[in-house]
A and B are shown apart, each in its own frame.
Chain A
Amino acid sequence: MSMLVGLLLQGLQMALVLALAPLLVGWVRKVKARLTRRRGASVLQPYRDIFRLLHKEAVLADNASWLFRVAPYLVFAAIWVAAALVPTYATSLAFSEAADLIVIVALLGSARFFLALAALDAGTSFGGIGASREMMIAALAEPAMIMLVFSLALVAGTTSLSAVAEHMLTGDVGLRVTLGLALIGLVIVAVAENGRIPVDNPATHLELTMVHEAMVLEYAGRHLAMIELAAAVKLVLYVSLLGTLFAPWGIAQFGAGPQALAIGIGAWVGKLAVAGLLLGLFETSIAKMRVFRVGEFLGAALLLGLLGTLLLFVSRNL
């Protein structure tokens, strides 16, 4: 019985993540528009975009192989599964034991691997520029992320995300230097991985600075819809991860009743809204940096993670 409930809750989370992802993107765009004194499109615009894309024909470059057609589904599946493994409104969902934080990082890496390959498949120069830069960013962001995982795992004594979240909820964690370092580092990684300002600009095309958009330039129709949706899910994933680890309030714990679950969902949506607001604020207040400055930016995250881990190796109480 409990297994069935677990599966149902897991399914609900996957559905919710998928349903809310475009809304978060629309919300961030709306916040940014208002902050720059524009009215901006409706927060529902991303849904319309995806719907429209789904009903367009898919244009494939002459040269594109089967990899180009399969990659959007693979990318989407890997990111969606990674998002399903992050506790959003409840911990200890059905699949949480199949994978820990390290696996989530690696699943995101798989998605990136196939997207970068798909970018090279059409044989154009923009695809190559996107792929090579994406891999540069990933090569720095991934170790930074793993070091942050290390410091969190050392605090909680496990790499299982549900267990980390439940440990954070117990209250005896308190304020720690390492958690502060991890928070800053994770925010930097989240900004870079989602292709937000100052690392990349999700709103531009035809600019030499662009990374993610250059990779998906040749995609159209349903394939592009999958990739856009996957990018939105990834944003939800990172926001949920930050919420679960650093603001776990309201999350329903193992074996909670319907009321606790409802509170959990409410708290999660609230966290998404706050995070969207902060992201919009952050993005409007700073400028995009040069591509080759990104190395220093992400190097800071890596060093923060390493410093946090080292402090924990010195004393478990720091």
Chain B
Amino acid sequence: MSVHVCLFAIFVLLSGCPAGIWAARRPGGSALIYSVCAAVAAVMAGTALGVLVRPGETAGAVLPMGVPWLQAHFEIDALSAFFLLVINLGALAASIYGMGTGRSEPEAGRILPFYPLFLAGMNLVLLAADAFTFLLSWESMSLASWALVMAHHRQSETQRAGFVYIVMAAFGTLALLLAFGLLAGAGGNYAFSQLRQAGPDAGLGVVVLLLVLIGAGSKGGLAPLHVWLPLAHPAAPSHVSALMSGVMTKVAIYALLRILLDLLGGVQWWWGALLMTLGALTAVLGVLYALMESDLKRLLAYSTVENVGFIFIGIGLGMAFQANGMNAAAALAYSAALFHVLNHSWIKSLLFLGAGAVLHATHERRLDALGGLIRRMPYTAFCFLVGSAAIASLPPLNAFASEWLTLQAILLSPDLPQWLLRFLVPAVGALMVLAAALAGAVFVKAFGIAFLGRPRSAEAEAAQETNRLAGAAMTMLVVLCVLAGIFTGPVLHVIQPAVAAIVERPAVPGFGIADIAFVAPTGVGGGSYSGFFVFLFVAMSGWGAALAIHRGASRATRRSPAWDCGFALNHPAFQYGAGSMAQPLRRIFGTVVFRATETVEMPPPGSVEPARYCTTQRDPAWDLIFTPVAGVVAAIADRIDGLQFLSIRRYLAMMFAGLVALLILVALWR
């Protein structure tokens, strides 16, 4: 039943694609398209929640479409239902935001047809139950998002972003295609139910693992395959950025979980070690990039890289426990990872929508051209502040709860039998906490420079508050973030069926619908946490202190120019900017990782020319991986270039040789 509802909803989305072409030329057209998308997203989120709350029934559907003898299989189980919920809540917020700002979009004709297609593609990936449908949906998701990235195609920056994105997307799909090919083997059964029965082949499993890591990892932004992400995510219109960063990366996480844990099966402990290591490196690298970034939307995109790293740490930890039969601990780690999936989708969507409101009001993404927006856009500022505090893992907001759960899972790891894991896990934990602490610095910078202080440009000074619908979309996400942080138990309860789909586990204490107040995942005597009481406690203390002050102390308040030790210089450029905020940490971490340098050019004595201060940093991923690979590809291409000028005789000889080589290969294979 639920599958049919979802498929019908997707059919509505797909028909929204041609309707978008029509709507782009009508005045109220964009509102129509976005409201249909919002309605569809709400219906699908509700359906998915229904499946999660009433687990046990997996509903499937087979449609006579696609390759003739294969048909298209669709299915909803708890895992896909959880990700459907994640995606459609994000899509709902983004669509409501689009209803508010769509009218003023100059390139509506390049967005409206592809937006429903993008949503449909993501949803179909989650519903797909055979390899062909999965890859087709995956590719339509990639292409639709590429078209959306290219919406503002006249900016040269966007053109580069689009080029790098399409190359990486095609590369990732190719890796997944090969992975599915290996899973299916010679039998050619592409339905997931049959792939599952086939059982893993140890040697093949390694190759599939690597291919999935490349395919899903490049979509999710796993380092070092993340380089396209900070180019492409910010280039799209802001509500699409929210979807790409907050939501599409989660589809990649889904693909990884589905293929490795469900279809391939037979988890090895070293998979966990590999994923954890990659996750920890991704988290730290991502946050360091974010720290040095001075473009608001790029900063947010790098922060997504960091959070994908967090999720990978949780998944890797879960795999390590699962491979050793410690299912309760594995369930805890997977719960933490899935909870973070949910949290990050909300927080990052919220932050991108906030950045979109700022962009809309000021036409600026550079932090150093913003400032003082808390006075001009108080509502957006408040929402962005909640998002910043949440993503910096501050209690009692939601990301702290998932980080706390991951740390509790790490504390269970001395029981692991493998020595490598015992040494690796604490180091991964240290890197994770380092990344979380640096995220605090990143978002002090992002919020502090963009919204606080004095306006650094005329645009920032003249900014106007965003419209009501955009505000409503942000409010919805703020409420979700706060509620998930305070009432952790019920949220974890909703996640549990999805965890049960990837690991058979005993009931986890403290994750029930009734455990509103306390979470104590490791049982009595272990650590416990209550977001609700922490919230109550802090609120009461702060309120009590304020009350006492207002009763007893002087309430006189005076406004005056800022004191600044008597140096108050009125120009806003004397404030700290994005580069100067990052400088202490750039000196500590950047000189090693990014070869960051600072150079000061002083004019000769007596000259009145300005001094120049410039900082440079390089991305090691480009230097170590992409530039050499691109160089090799270019060199091969140069060699092959000669082939287009051969004579007929030589072409025939080449074909003959190729045929013989292939036949020998087939003979050897048999």
The interface of chain A, by Cβ under 8 A from chain B, is: 14, 54-63, 65-67, 73-74, 76-78, 80-81, 84, 95, 97-103, 106-107, 109-110, 112-113, 116-117, 120-129, 131-133, 135-136, 138-143, 146-147, 150, 153-154, 157-160, 163, 205-206, 217-218, 221-222, 225-226, 291-292, 295, 302, 305-306, 309-310, 312-314, 316
- Of the four ranges (under 10, 10 to 19, 20 to 34, 35 or more), the interface on chain B belongs to 35 or more
Contact of B565 among A102, A110, A206 (CB under 8 A): A206
| Residue B546 interfacial (CB < 8 Å) | yes
**Residue numbers in B under 8 Å from A63 (CB-CB):** 372, 453-454, 562
| B375, B389, B518, B581 — most chain A CB neighbours (10 Å) | B581
Contact B576 A313 (CB under 8 A): no
**Residue numbers in B under 8 Å from A106 (CB-CB):** 393-395, 400, 404
| Residue B633 interfacial (CB < 8 Å) | no
Q: A77-B539, A140-B437 are in contact. List 20 more A-B contacts (CB 8 A).
A: A61-B559, A62-B562, A66-B374, A67-B374, A100-B527, A103-B395, A113-B443, A120-B448, A120-B452, A122-B564, A124-B562, A125-B575, A132-B582, A132-B583, A132-B584, A135-B445, A142-B433, A146-B430, A158-B527, A316-B414
**Residue numbers in B under 8 Å from A120 (CB-CB):** 444, 448-449, 452-453, 575-576
Q: A81-B538, A123-B371, A125-B564 are in contact. Are A97 and B433 (CB under 8 A)?
A: no
How far, in whole Å, are A250 and B392 apart by their CA atoms in the complex?
38
Determine how close the nearest CB of chain A comes to the CB of B192; give it in whole angstroms: 38
Binds A, one of B215-223, B265-273, B547-555, B599-607: B547-555
**Residue numbers in B under 8 Å from A122 (CB-CB):** 453, 562, 564
Q: A99-B534, A313-B426 are in contact. Are A57 and B434 (CB under 8 A)?
A: no
Q: A58-B558, A63-B454, A126-B564 are in contact. Are A77 and B529 (CB under 8 A)?
A: no
Contact B588 A295 (CB under 8 A): yes
| 22 A-B pairs with C-beta separation under 8 A | A58-B557, A65-B374, A67-B452, A95-B537, A97-B528, A106-B404, A109-B393, A123-B454, A125-B567, A126-B565, A128-B576, A132-B580, A132-B581, A142-B433, A143-B434, A150-B426, A153-B527, A218-B563, A221-B554, A292-B584, A295-B587, A306-B427
Contact B553 A225 (CB under 8 A): yes
Q: A123-B452, A154-B411, A158-B527 are in contact. Are A97 and B557 (CB under 8 A)?
A: no
Contact B526 A113 (CB under 8 A): no
Contact A128 B411 (CB under 8 A): no
**Residue numbers in A under 8 Å from B449 (CB-CB):** 120
Contact B422 A314 (CB under 8 A): yes
| Residue B178 interfacial (CB < 8 Å) | no
Nearest 4 Cβ contacts at the A-B interface: A128-B576, A77-B542, A159-B527, A57-B556
Contact A110 B395 (CB under 8 A): yes
Contact of A77 among B413, B538, B554, B558 (CB under 8 A): B538
Contact A153 B411 (CB under 8 A): yes
| Residue B132 interfacial (CB < 8 Å) | no
**Residue numbers in A under 8 Å from B12 (CB-CB):** none
For residue B444, which residue of chain A has the nearest CB?
A116
For residue B447, which residue of chain A has the nearest CB?
A117
How far, in whole Å, are A102 and B582 apart by their CA atoms in the complex?
26
Contact B423 A310 (CB under 8 A): yes
**Residue numbers in A under 8 Å from B444 (CB-CB):** 113, 116-117, 120, 131, 135
Determine how close the nearest CB of chain A comes to the CB of B521; give it in whole angstroms: 11
For residue A105, which residue of chain B has the nearest CB?
B433
Q: A74-B542, A132-B583 are in contact. Are A158 and B553 (CB under 8 A)?
A: no
Contact A54 B553 (CB under 8 A): yes
Contact B545 A76 (CB under 8 A): yes
**Residue numbers in B under 8 Å from A141 (CB-CB):** 437
**Residue numbers in B under 8 Å from A81 (CB-CB):** 534, 537-538, 541
For residue B453, which residue of chain A has the nearest CB?
A123
For residue A120, which residue of chain B has the nearest CB?
B448
Contact A112 B585 (CB under 8 A): no
Contact B580 A128 (CB under 8 A): yes
Contact A112 B530 (CB under 8 A): no
For residue B541, which residue of chain A has the nearest CB?
A77
The 8 A CB mask of B532-544 against A (1 = contact, 0 = none) is: 0110011101100
Determine how close the nearest CB of chain A comes to the CB of B452; give it in whole angstroms: 4
Contact A138 B441 (CB under 8 A): yes
How far, in whole Å, are A305 and B434 apart by their CA atoms in the complex?
13
The 8 A CB mask of B352-382 against A (1 = contact, 0 = none) is: 0000000000000000000110110010000
Q: A225-B553, A302-B430 are in contact. Are A78 and B538 (CB under 8 A)?
A: yes
| Residue B187 interfacial (CB < 8 Å) | no
Contact B533 A131 (CB under 8 A): no
Determine how close the nearest CB of chain A comes to the CB of B526; give it in whole angstroms: 5
For residue A63, which residue of chain B has the nearest CB?
B454
The 8 A CB mask of B383-402 against A (1 = contact, 0 = none) is: 00100010011110000100
Contact A107 B534 (CB under 8 A): yes
Contact A291 B534 (CB under 8 A): no
How far, in whole Å, are A160 and B393 apart by their CA atoms in the complex?
19
